Structure 1
Amino acid sequence: MKSHLPEQLYLYSPVWLQNVLVSIYGNIERERRYGGEHSVFLKHLRGNKFLTLQENNTLQKKLLTATLDNATRNVPAYQHLRSDQPDLSLFPLLDRQQVANNTKQFISSKFDVSNLIALYTGGSSASPLKVYISKMTRQKTYSFWQLFYDNMGFNIGDRKASFVGRKLQEPDNNLPPFWRYNIADKQLLFSSYHMEEANLPLYVDKLNEFKPKVVEGYPFSVYRIAEHILNNSLTLSFTPAGISTSSENFSKHHRKVIESAFQCRVFDQYGSAESVVFASECAHGTMHIEPEYGILEVLTETGEITPTGKGELIATTLLNDAMPLIRYRIGDLGVITEESCLCGRGTSVLKELHGKVGAVVINEGRQAPTAAIAIAFEYLEGIKNAQIIQNEPNAVIVKLVKKSDFNPKSEEFMIWELRKMLGESLKINVEYVNDIPPEPNGKYKMVVQNVYQ
């Protein structure tokens, strides 16, 4: 169970000390992310950026062979598939619940678990999952992030404004400032939980003062700022090189509003905490699937698995050798093509991503988007699935499906997290159910918003 203590100590500290703590943590993370193999691997990725599709396919086959060989030799869940030439087609489809229920079986014996990094994800289905990666995999992952940032001419150390799910102050504390500064990365972190209409002018003023080169965050947090700018005929005193979005699906309307307000392009990114796929938009709006990060396939309606087409997305990591997930059902629907792009890159393309537009939970003007709500469910012990439903203002129903090893303290932790995001006045009714049925499209919906459409 995750401890509340470090976060509580931070929240009880004065603002000046919170800025110091944010900067100290930022400096530690900077070393973890950009040390070791990061620079060398980034140089490698930049050198391979404009390989042809055929060259990338050849490179992928080589990486896949190494991945499957490692899996069948060293990963208990795959050792029964051992052969001199393991083939991807021999691997069965793998779903989230299988991994969640048998985590240790998917960890390579080449690694000491105590030396690995544990990543927690609630995902859009709110089914808690823990995935392990090595320190090197983390560094390489941030090389892919920098390759993405290259499209905006942004480098680590340039000014960045971030609208993400971090708790910078108590939701009930409605006194500015609603931001904290990470001096190590020249990063201004904005609270996504205090974006009430009355506070938005302060957000815009601070952005104008800070003048970030890039604005990043959950699309619906950035959209809220953009909508306020346009509705009040405001003008920014700076023009970002780009808006970096991730973690939520959003519509063309939302993109248009954001781009109109900030007068720059939105660059969206698609990935997962399971470390199986990394895709991102170039300057021409094409979502390129990074060939050295993972392989993305399509499970069609007829049950066939194909490299292109429309259907459920199936991912195989080429990067995470500590816990390689192979033919993993990532839980999204989409369209994959091999069309050419004006940017010159020869990769497979994620042409469409058919996910739900991210819902939000609202309490007294405070909003928590789907990606932030997932945090409350990430550390639930003994929970198979979860869903939060808002049928009336300032109140929610949380449905939980228990497993045999359910820990009652999980409920307390979840309630603490939700109220931390949305305020103590939020009424929370927890219901334990036998099952949470999927939507008609087969996907599970973590947030059901029936009040604020």
Structure 2
Amino acid sequence: MKSHLPERLYLASPIWLQNTIVSLYGRVEHKRRYGGAHNSFLEHLRENRLLSFEENKTLQKKLLRSILTNAKNNVPAYEHLRSRQPELANFPLLGRQRVADNIEQFVSREFNPKNLLALYTGGSSASPLKVYISKATRQKTYSFWQSFYDYMDFNIGDRKASFVGRKLQAPDDNRPPFWRYNITDKQLLFSSYHLEEANIPHYVEKLNAFKPKIIEGYPFSIYRIAEYILNHSITLSFIPNGISTSSENFSVRQREVIEKAFKSKVFDQYGSAESVVFASECQHGTMHIEPEYGVLEVLTESGDITSTGRGELIATTLLNEAMPLIRYRIGDFGTVIEDSCACGRETYVLREIHGKVGAVIVNEGRQVPTAAIAIAFEYLEGIKNAQIIQNQPSAVTVKLVKKPDFNPKSEKFMIWELRKMLGDSLKIDIEYVNDIPPEANGKYKMVVQNFQK
């Protein structure tokens, strides 16, 4: 169970000290992300960006053979496979719950878990999952991010404004500043939990003063700023190179509002904490699936598994040898096509993604989206699944499905996280249930909003 003590100490500190803490943490993270294998692998990605489709296929096939062979020989969950040279078709579909219930079985014997990094994800279904990766894999992951930033002519160290799920100050504290500064990366982190109408002018004023080269974060948070700018006919004193969005679906209209307000293009990114897929939009709006990050298949309505088509997305990592998830049911639906693009890239392309649905929980003017709510469920111990339902203002019901190793502290942990986002006035009722059924489309919905339609 993650401890809240560091966050409590941070929140109790004066703002100048909070900025110092953010910068020190940013310095540590910078070394972890951009050291080691990062630069050489980034150069490799840039050199391979314009490979032909056939060259990408050949490269991906080589990487896939390596990851499958290593998995069969070194990962307990796959050792029952008999084929000497395993093919992807030899591996069964892998559900999230099976991994969550048997984490150690999916860790390669070539790695000591004590030397690995643990990533936690609540996902869009709020089924907690821990995934191990090596330090080198993490550095390579951020090489893909920098390759994506290339579309916006942005490099780490250029000024960046971030609207993500960090808890920068108590949710009931409506006094600016609603941002903290990471001096190492010249990153201004904005709170996504204080975007009430009365507070947004402070955000706009700070953005004008900071003049970031890009803005990144949850689409819903950025959209609220953009909507305010247009509604009040505000002229910004800067034009960012791009708006980088991730973690949530958003509508065509919301994209148009963001692009009109900031006079800049939106570049969306699709990925997962499980390190199985990375796709991102180029300057022509094409969502390229990175061929060296993972293999994406489609489970169609007829039950066939194909490389292209429309259906449930099935992902296989090519990057994470420490805990290789193969044919992993990522929980999203979409369409995969084979395409070439005006940007010069020839890759598989992802379209019509249906997942990470952007419902919100509201309380006293705050609107917290699904991607941020997911953080409250990431570290829960002994919880199989969770769902938060809002039927009226200032009150929610949280449904929890317990596992045999349920830890009663999980409930207190989750409530503390939710109040940290939505304030102490939020009424939270806990309901323990035997199961949380999926929606009609087969997706498990983490946030159900019946109050604000």
Query: What TM-score does the superposition give when structure 2 sets the normalisation length?
Result: 0.99
Match of 1:244 in 2: 244
Match of 2:295 in 1: 295
Is the partner of 2:362 in helix, strand or coil? strand
Is the partner of 1:13 in helix, strand or coil? coil
**Could you report, residue by residue, the CA deviation over 1:334-359 in whole angstroms, capped at 9, with x for unpaired residues?**
00000221111011000221236401
Within-5 A mapping of 1:38-437:
38-355=38-355, 357-437=357-437
**Which stretch of the first structure deviates more once superposed, 349-358 or 259-268?**
349-358
Letter in 2 for 1:111: F
Identity %: 77
How far apart are the structure 1 equivalents of 2:70 and 2:343? 34
CA contact (8 A) 2:315 2:326 kept: yes
**Which stretch of the first structure deviates more once superposed, 13-22 or 361-370?**
361-370
How far apart are the structure 1 equivalents of 2:442 and 2:83? 35
Is the partner of 2:79 in helix, strand or coil? helix
CA contact (8 A) 2:388 2:448 kept: yes
CA contact (8 A) 1:245 1:266 kept: yes
Letter in 1 for 2:136: M
How far apart are the structure 1 equivalents of 2:293 and 2:190? 30
CA contact (8 A) 1:22 1:182 kept: yes
**Could you report, residue by residue, the CA deviation over 1:60-83 in whole angstroms, capped at 9, with x for unpaired residues?**
000000000100000000011143
CA contact (8 A) 2:357 2:370 kept: no
**Could you report, residue by residue, the CA deviation over 1:86-143 in whole angstroms, capped at 9, with x for unpaired residues?**
1110100000000000000000000010000000000001000000000000000000
**Could you report, residue by residue, the CA deviation over 1:311-344 in whole angstroms, capped at 9, with x for unpaired residues?**
0000000000000000000000000000221111
**Which stretch of the first structure deviates more once superposed, 391-400 or 356-365?**
356-365
Structure 1 residues without counterparts, runs of 5 or longer: none
Is the partner of 1:70 in helix, strand or coil? helix
Letter in 2 for 1:435: D
CA contact (8 A) 2:124 2:356 kept: no
How far apart are the structure 2 equivalents of 1:53 and 1:211? 39
Is the partner of 2:230 in helix, strand or coil? helix
Letter in 1 for 2:65: T
CA contact (8 A) 2:331 2:355 kept: no
**Which stretch of the first structure deviates more once superposed, 118-127 or 77-86?**
77-86
Letter in 1 for 2:234: L
Within-5 A mapping of 1:438-453:
438-453=438-453
How far apart are the structure 2 equivalents of 1:235 and 1:98? 51
How far apart are the structure 2 equivalents of 1:367 and 1:31? 34
Q: What's the RMSD between the two structures over aligned residues?
A: 0.7
How far apart are the structure 2 equivalents of 1:45 and 1:304? 32
**Could you report, residue by residue, the CA deviation over 1:391-443 in whole angstroms, capped at 9, with x for unpaired residues?**
00011000001111111110000000000001000000000011111010000
How far apart are the structure 2 equivalents of 1:114 and 1:329? 27
Q: CA deviation at 1:222?
A: 0.3
CA contact (8 A) 1:73 1:82 kept: no
Within-5 A mapping of 1:11-30:
11-30=11-30
Is the partner of 1:310 in helix, strand or coil? strand
Aligned residues: 453
How far apart are the structure 1 equivalents of 2:202 and 2:451? 27
CA contact (8 A) 2:287 2:351 kept: yes
How far apart are the structure 2 equivalents of 1:323 and 1:194? 37
CA contact (8 A) 1:251 1:357 kept: no
How far apart are the structure 2 equivalents of 1:35 and 1:52? 30
How far apart are the structure 1 equivalents of 2:269 and 2:160? 16
Letter in 1 for 2:26: G
Is the partner of 2:29 in helix, strand or coil? helix
Letter in 2 for 1:246: S
Q: CA deviation at 1:452?
A: 1.4
**Could you report, residue by residue, the CA deviation over 1:161-198 in whole angstroms, capped at 9, with x for unpaired residues?**
00001000000111110000000000000001111000
Letter in 2 for 1:108: S
Q: Which aligned segments of 4 or more residues in structure 1 are displaced greater than 6 angstroms?
A: none
Letter in 2 for 1:205: E
Q: CA deviation at 1:368?
A: 1.4
**Which stretch of the first structure deviates more once superposed, 156-165 or 353-362?**
353-362
How far apart are the structure 1 equivalents of 2:339 and 2:324? 28
Letter in 2 for 1:377: F
How far apart are the structure 2 equivalents of 1:403 and 1:142? 34
Is the partner of 1:273 in helix, strand or coil? coil
Is the partner of 1:81 in helix, strand or coil? coil
How far apart are the structure 2 equivalents of 1:212 and 1:297? 37
How far apart are the structure 2 equivalents of 1:355 and 1:78? 28
**Could you report, residue by residue, the CA deviation over 1:138-163 in whole angstroms, capped at 9, with x for unpaired residues?**
00000000000000000000000000
CA contact (8 A) 1:158 1:213 kept: yes
CA contact (8 A) 2:128 2:379 kept: yes
